Amino acid sequence: MLKFSKAEKVVLIGGIIVILLIVALGFAKKTLIDNKKEPFKVPESAETTTTSKKEEPKESDIKGIKLKKSTFVVGLNKKLSEKVSTYVEASDDIMKEIEIDFSHVDMTKAGEYTAKLTYKNDSIDIPIVVKDTTAPVITVANAQVVFTLEPTSTLEELITFVNATAEDDVDGVIASDQITGWPKALSDKNETVTYTLKVKDSSGNEGKKDITVQYIVPTTENTTPSDE
């Protein structure tokens, strides 16, 4: 077995420490070089996401003129705005020279149309959709009903008394059986109930009408013959 003097042991331990330091520094230097070669990557979870924004006026094919919408929806049989500012954004000087031709837009017929905007020698199309946006109207003969409940009372009796009808500016008279919102059955107690009648036209516009029914349960009075 080898034996070392105290001085030799100190030298040996010091040499081991130096070797360990050299190895550690070499590893650190290699890691630093590798990191420089490979660029930093943003983790997928940290990537920036974009959120949807409300439609904003966008540049048209004519410089300085922006359409306020991609498509303009107007109500059937309504008055069509012919103001330039309704459809575009532009400077005051440009606005004064803009002309819009609405001659091909038929406000009495639902459909897709195109108006023509002209500025100097340039022109662009303005998409216009004409559609029925007016709800049908429900009319009732009696909106406030006092209904006395008798053993023979029926729901049909209540419906007949209210006498609800519906009419639409496009579809005309709507069949009464298309009106919904009636109760499934009559109440059986003293109470006041509000029912909302509803009807839709062929375009899906919904009209509503509230009716109030006061149910009354008649009381039975026992009468005793008077003594003479």
DSSP class of residue 180? B
pLDDT at position 39 is 46
pLDDT at position 183 is 97
Q: Provide Rg for the chain, Cα atoms.
A: 42
Q: Which distant-in-sequence residues (6+ apart) come within 8 Å of 66 by Cβ?
A: 57, 58, 59, 60, 88, 89, 90
Residue 131 in tokens: 């559609």
| Full-model pTM | 0.62
Task: Tell me the CA distances in angstroms from 76 to 70, 103, 134, one per residue in order.
Answer: 19, 16, 8
Q: Which distant-in-sequence residues (6+ apart) come within 8 Å of 164 by Cβ?
A: 138, 139, 140, 141, 176, 179, 197, 209, 211
Cβ atoms 178, 198 nearer than 8 A:
no
Residue given tokens 């490979």 in the structure block: 38
pLDDT at position 61 is 85
pLDDT at position 95 is 96
DSSP class of residue 71? S
Cβ atoms 145, 214 nearer than 8 A:
yes
pLDDT at position 60 is 78
CA-angle at 198, arms to 151 and 194, nearest 5°: 50
pLDDT at position 30 is 56
Per residue of the chain (228 residues), what is the pLDDT tens digit? Answer: 555 566 666 666 766 776 776 766 666 555 555 555 444 443 333 333 333 345 566 677 899 999 999 999 999 999 999 999 999 999 999 999 999 999 999 999 999 999 999 999 999 999 999 999 999 999 999 999 999 999 999 999 999 999 999 999 999 999 999 999 999 999 999 999 999 999 999 999 999 999 999 999 998 765 455 554
φ/ψ of 177, rounded to 5, equals -75, -5
**What's the pLDDT tens digit per position in 114-173?**
999 999 999 999 999 999 999 999 999 999 999 999 999 999 999 999 999 999 999 999
Q: What are the start-end ranges of the E strands in 27-155?
A: 58-59, 66-67, 72-75, 88-89, 98-101, 111-119, 122-131, 137-140, 144-148
